[in-house]
Structure 1
Amino acid sequence: MNTPALPLPQTPANAPAASPTPSPTLDSAQLLGGRKQVAINHGGELYSLRLTRNGKLILTK
């Protein structure tokens, strides 16, 4: 006898993923503030965010 399959109950394994909170968007001009390079302190480490002549951003440690 063929019986139609019943939908599975919602459990953590098959529950739909929660929609993520959208990340804020920062404009590079805001970050750089008219400069070609800024320093960023992250977790006690210093990084450099630099704007190239071609308009690209480079983040280095």
Structure 2
Amino acid sequence: MSETASSEYVQRRLDAYVSAWKSYEPNEIADLFTENAIYHRNPKSTSAIGRAAIVESSREPD
């Protein structure tokens, strides 16, 4: 793929992101992130570092 992502690629990634979070399926959520990703659910949340922590944070209520 070139340095510039096609609109189709971006749309597929966005669709996968939405689908994974709606599914509450841990493996689908984990697949969205790199092993060392840092994720913030919202500006006031504690950082979730790594896939396992991100999946665990997805189980917490907002």
TM superposition score normalised by structure 1: 0.29
Name the structure, 1 or 2, with higher relative contact order (CA <8 Å, separation 6+).
2
Higher Cα Rg: structure 1 or 2? 1
TM superposition score normalised by structure 2: 0.29
Give the structure with the larger strand fraction.
1
